[in-house]
Structure formats: C-alpha cells, structure tokens
Amino acid sequence: MSIRSALAWNFLGGLIFPFVACAYENVALHKAAWQQNPPLNNQYNASLAVDGRKENLSPWGGECVLSGRSETAEWRVDLKSVLSIHHILIQYAQINRVWDKDDFYTTHLLGFSLYVSNTTNKEEGVLCFRDSNYSISTVPNPVNITCSYHGRYVIYHNNRTHPPFPVNYTSNAYSDLCEVEVYGCPSPGFYGEDCSIPCPQNCQDGFCHIVEGTCLGCLPGYRGLRCNEECKQLTYGLECNKTCGNCSKGEQCNHVNGSCLSGCDVGVHGDKCDSECPQGQFGEDCLQYCSKHCVISGKCDRVTGHCTGGCQAGWKNAQCDQKCDGNMFGKHCKDVCGKCLNGGQCHHINGSCLYGCNPGYYGIDCREECPDGKYGHNCEENCSSNCMIPGKCEGVKGGCEVGCQEGWKNAQCDQECDGGMFGQNCNQSCGKCLDNEQCHHINGSCFNGCDSGYHGANCTEGTGKT
C-alpha cells in the first residue's frame, strides 16, 4: 500500500481518527513558539505544543501548554521562513480517556480560530478556520484542518469578548494545546506530495498551491492559474488590474511595468504614456509645440494642436501656423489689403504694404488716393503744369483730366506740339516758316522768319511774288 494513498488509523484517547498519510513534513516541530497570558511558572510554556510529544494529554502531564485565564487566548509558532502549508493538526488537552461531551476541555476548545500570517499580527494574514458550528458533542480532538496557504506564523486564537456566548462556551478563553503539527513543504517554491515539483516561475513570491501547483498570486504582468499568461487587453501589473496608458497606435503596453515600447499616442507622454501633455505641447509623445500665434500664446489642444480661442491677428488655420495671404490680413484674416505695389501681399498683421503702393495710392497701407497735383508710385510724381487745369491729373499715370493747355500734347501734357502743328490740342498748322522749321508750339509764330513769299507773325500771309 502506497504511503501517498494509504489510509492510516490513529488511536488516540479511546477515539479513532482517520487521516491520509503523505510525505509532507511537520515544519513546526521544535520551532520557536509564543503564547499570550502564560502561567507564572514555566511549566506550561508555549514550546510544549511543538515538542513532538502527545502521549500524555493530561493538562498536568508535562506535554501540554496551558494559558492563564483571560478574555482572549493566543498562541503561535514561528516557522522561521515563509513556507507552503497543506494542513494543520491540533491536539487539545483532555482529562478523560475518552474525548466526548463530558470532557471538561471541550468547552475550552469551542469557538477557536486558526490563522496563517507572514507577521505576528493575525489580522495581516489569512483565516484558515473559525469554529462556528461545533458543540461539546461534535468538536473533534485532534482537529485536522486543511489550510493550503503559505506563511511564516501559524496562530491559534480564541476569545470570549462578546457575550452572550453559545451554549456550553466557557466565559474565559484558553489555549490548552498539547501539540500543533503544521504539515507542508520544508523548502519554499515547491509543491506536490513529496514537495519535489517547482512552482510555476511567475507565481507571486514563488509560492503556489501545495497540492495543485496553481499560483496563489501572480507576479506583476501575468495572469492565469499558473501565471503563464501575459496581461492583455491593454492591462498590466499586479493581477493585470492596471490599465495601459495611450501607447502609440493603441498598442499593448509592457505587461509588467506598463511602459509603451513604441512611444505614446497623441496628447500624452511619459514612460507609461499616462500623463497629459504639459501646456504648450501636443501630438505624439508631446513632441510638438503649440503655436506662439494662438490667441493665448502657446495654449492649444494637446491632441490636435488646435489653438484654444483661435489665432492672433495675422494668422490662420486651426493651429495658427500660417500667415494671412490672398491679400487679406488682420483678425481672422478678414481685412482686405490696400493697393500694394503690383498687387503684392500686405503685412499679414497690420496691412502695411512692404514694398510701397501701386501708382495712384500712398500711405502705410496704400489705401489713400494721390492728393491733387500728385500721381504715380507712392504719389511721388507731380502732375504737369501744362494740364488745362494746372496740376490736376489722374493719380495713376498722371493723365491730365480735361486735356492740355495750348501748345501741349500727350495724356500728361508733357510734350510740346510738333510736326508743324501748334495751339489747342496741337490741331493748328504752322505757317511757312523759314526752311520749314517748327513754329512756336503755342502761338504758331516762326522763330527765324518766313520762307520767301510769306510774311506776318505766323508766316501765313503771302507777298504775291513767286
């Protein structure tokens, strides 16, 4: 019959208790123990419950721990390191040879609890068992409790702090323990009946269920009964209960620490991409800077870079990154430029013409027409004094508005009559000036006299001689 499956029988105090024999060790044997409210002498010290002796179950037989009278009773053993536990056997003191309802100590045992903890504080550990159903007729001795946890301290506790108590409960609590045997694996990180199988590598603290090998918790970044699955669905960390930040293109973050391997999506930065862009920055990994031309300089949407509140005068587009153009300027690029030279773009903010004005206009923004007497580029030219109305011309090319004075021609009245013509609009013909010279452009007189046969101021009168 195999030791791993044999059903053994233990005769104790007239009662027979079955248990399954196995290779788990009593890891509490001869370890340091402590109890609350010890008697004044050392006859019943806490270490008697882990000395391996339980032949004499009498409270006065020298093999059992007794505690003083109190509302609470607590006893613990220090396993010296955190170990995996399978089950715990508690052998309580008894007076009678047969453990039954008539044994005085049944009333002491009722209501007890059993904890496993990594510290001496039971509240920081796990509750393996709490008696809420036993009576003096049903409470067993020994008590064999399955407790598949891991810890350094096994703590027995009982209390009588909240009366009224159930029937047959003592009014005080006691820890009258003859032996506490803690069966488990003597080396951490193993499981199985002979404690030879290593726990899965990603189990938290290296511990797993001592029978099934399932992890009692996973290292950060892993999940599943054996912690062999990485966190997915944009989660990471301990128990995969943390949510990834906004990694680039929605990628899964590092399953352990939450870092984004390919950088951050738009609007966030940091190793975990969980911090919003600082003010003034936007885009992937917050590497782009908000336009200084936003109406609130440097303040924009952290994702799109769109300026909050619009643009300063002279700028356009959602990110306020383009100057006004198309002969527009100013707030929202709604103002029309003046008559800049050659139709050029005015200054995008104030509308000034950087290279001067088209002919006929002047001023910073080239919106003013030339004043009387002026024309041309920036109105720098003077209208001709030979205009019919002297100094009165149109502002672009300087053409006289109502024609020229006598003796002048062209639109600007800047050329004397020639080609044998004179007078108003140069529509009168010169007389017979000497050698066919041009007559005076205004009055038609001949400067050097007349050809033979003619006389008069304009040489228009003949002598009759040929």
Give the domain CATH number at 166: 2.60.120.260
Q: Domain containing 441: what range?
A: 417-466
State the number of CA atoms in the 13 A half-sphere of 110 facing the CB: 23
CA nearest 139: which of 159, 169, 97?
169
Residue labelled with tokens 């009387």:
372
Distance CA 262, CA 271 (A): 10
Query: Last residue of a domain, which of 161, 188, 215?
Result: 188
Given a cut of 70, the residues of the chain with pLDDT beneath it are: 1-22, 463-466
Residue 405's alpha-carbon distances to 113, 425, 441, in angstroms, are 128, 8, 11
Query: What pLDDT is stored for residue 39 in this prediction?
Result: 82
Query: What pLDDT is stored for residue 463 in this prediction?
Result: 67
Distance CA 284, CA 144 (A): 61
* Position 61 in a domain: yes
* Position 370 in a domain: no
Within 10 A of 220 (CB to CB), how many other CB atoms are there? 18
* Position 314 in a domain: no
Three-class SS of residue 35? strand
Distance of CA 376 to the CA centre of its chain: 62
Distance CA 109, CA 138 (A): 11
Query: How does pLDDT run across 266-293, given as a tens digit for each residue?
Result: 999 999 999 999 999 999 989 999 999 9
Query: Last residue of a domain, which of 165, 188, 211?
Result: 188
Structure tokens, 262: 């390919």
Burial of 166 (0-12, 13-18, 19+ CB in 10 A): exposed
State the number of CA atoms in the 13 A half-sphere of 349 facing the CB: 5
Distance CA 426, CA 418 (A): 8
* Position 260 in a domain: no
Distance CA 433, CA 418 (A): 13
* Position 344 in a domain: no
Model pTM greater than 0.75? no
Distance of CA 18 to the CA centre of its chain: 60
Distance CA 107, CA 171 (A): 9
Query: What pLDDT is stored for residue 462 in this prediction?
Result: 81
Domains: count for the chain? 2
* Position 77 in a domain: yes
Distance CA 241, CA 310 (A): 41
Which string of b and e fits 40-55 if b means at least 16 CB within 10 Å? eeeebbbebbbbeebe
Query: What pLDDT is stored for residue 464 in this prediction?
Result: 55
Three-class SS of residue 124? helix
* Position 289 in a domain: no
Query: How does pLDDT run across 368-388, given as a tens digit for each residue?
Result: 999 989 999 889 999 999 999
Within 8 A by CB and 6+ apart from 462, the residues are 453, 454, 455
Query: What pLDDT is stored for residue 11 in this prediction?
Result: 30
Query: Last residue of a domain, which of 170, 188, 206?
Result: 188
Distance CA 142, CA 56 (A): 13
Handedness of CA 436, 438, 440, 444 (dihedral sign): positive
Local structure of residue 362 (DSSP, 8 states): E
Query: How does pLDDT run across 217-261, given as a tens digit for each residue?
Result: 899 999 999 999 999 999 999 999 999 999 999 999 999 999 998
Distance CA 366, CA 342 (A): 12
Query: What pLDDT is stored for residue 14 in this prediction?
Result: 31
Distance CA 67, CA 70 (A): 9
Distance CA 298, CA 318 (A): 13
Strand partners, 218: 203
Query: What pLDDT is stored for residue 16 in this prediction?
Result: 33
Structure tokens, 119: 């510290």
Distance CA 406, CA 424 (A): 4
Structure tokens, 422: 């004179």
Query: What pLDDT is stored for residue 17 in this prediction?
Result: 36
* Position 138 in a domain: yes
